[in-house]
Structure 1
Amino acid sequence: MKLWNGVFISFFIGIIVGILTVLGQGVLPGSWNLLANSRVSWLLPSFFIGAMGSTKTKSASFSMISLLGMFIGYYGYAMQIQNVPHSLYFILIWTGAAIVGGTIFGIAGFLWRRDNGVKHKFGSALIGGVFISEGLDKFIHINDYRHMLNVGLVQIVIGFTLFLVLERTNKGRIFSLIMALPILILGIIGFQILHFLT
């Protein structure tokens, strides 16, 4: 894919996902609206957008651009259409998260699509593991998220489903699950850092 086509598609998809996130929060009942506004809900499309890139640099760039597009779509729609004010602090935090997350998950998408060995399984392990990590985070902070444990369970199920879907053999699925163990630990640490910052 040509660079500018990739940039345009990544940004356009990002804007759409960002707006759908705001709308999804208004449509999904009760705690289920967290699925629309989940951190990992944005990482999944950015992972597959990263998989479009022909090089690691393009993949990271496309993924980062898509996350920035999601961010602009979300905050732009919320602030301009719904007149909901947002703090500059949170805007800066999530901009930084888009840059870091886009780089990591864009490269993971590239490895998943372009490699057939261990690196391919790392891509599956990362995206599946981060869903499980966010689901487990609800149980770690059970006093804050007691009303959202059903959402946490769904995120864990989605994580395991991604292992099944993204790997082609049972051996690959098992190996990818084993690779996900350190990712789960890092993911849980990452969510604790986000709790501290936000």
Structure 2
Amino acid sequence: MTVRKSGPGAWVAAATATVGGVLLGVLTNLAQGWLPGDWNQLANSAAVWSAVAFAAGALIARRGTLLRAALGGLGAETGLVAGYYGYAEFGRDGMGALLFPLVWLAMACVAGPLFGVAAYAWRRGRGIRSRTAGLAAFAGLFGMEAMTAARDLHHTAQAWTCGTAFLLIPLLMAPTHRVRALTLAAAVPCALLAYAIVGLPLKAVSS
């Protein structure tokens, strides 16, 4: 995977992704009121938000550099946090304590570039290992979300939905049967690691 030098276009890509993230952040806040029952948890889940960073990185990777993909992922993820909590503050009854916005912002600064780079590896990486690792990281997001929904929230339907996404991402996005098998195998430890790093701390903060 080659890292090429990037000029002002990197900042344009980041700014565009940030604006899109802000708009989607407002939308996820609204979606929590639209989705019925426990399904509203999916509107601002870690997997859904990080999927936006992955999508931004994948779009930028078509013609952009690794740096642009990383900055695009960062912009998208931080924009989501700003849009979600900004709307909560000014469009609803207030966002409450600063703890959760700060926690999500800190996570965005890590997850955004990470999944922007993962998307670049999937789209533009050289060799099967690079492409498999990028896609496995993406699938692992939904594996983590499935475990969180099943073990911590006891939301069975959401757990099955995220588990299905965990399986479908390699099956639909990998180019060959070999890459599908390798991606599924690599996605399992990715999901377990993400749950240990993200899911358990979030559970502790929430409680």
Same fold (TM over 0.5): yes
Where do 1:4-83 residues align within 5 Å?
Answer: 4-51=11-58, 52-53=60-61, 54-83=64-93
Residue 103 of structure 1 aligns with which residue? Answer: 113
**8 Å CA contact retained: 1:134, 1:187:** no
Instruction: Summarize deviations over 1:128-154 as a string: whole Å, max 9, x none.
Output: 11101111222222xxx23x2111110
Residue 157 of structure 2 aligns with which residue? Answer: 150
Post-superposition shift, 1:4?
A: 3.4
Residue 170 of structure 1 aligns with which residue? Answer: 177
Structure 2: distance between partners of 1:56 and 1:3: 9
Residue 200 of structure 2 aligns with which residue? Answer: 192
**8 Å CA contact retained: 2:13, 2:71:** no
**Number of residue pairs aligned between Structure 1 and Structure 2:** 194
Quote the RMSD (CA, aligned, Å): 1.6
Residue 94 of structure 2 aligns with which residue? Answer: 84
State percent identity of aligned pairs: 29
Match of 1:123 among 134, 137, 144: 134
TM-score (norm 1): 0.91
Moved over 3 A (4+): none
Specify every segment of 5 or more residues in structure 2 that has no aligned partner in the other structure, as ranges. Answer: 1-5
Structure 2: distance between partners of 1:67 and 1:92: 13
1:132 and 2:143 are equivalent in the alignment: yes
Give secondary structure in 2 for the equivalent of 1:84: coil
Specify every segment of 5 or more residues in structure 1 that has no aligned partner in the other structure, as ranges. Answer: none
Structure 1: distance between partners of 2:24 and 2:172: 22
TM-score (norm 2): 0.88
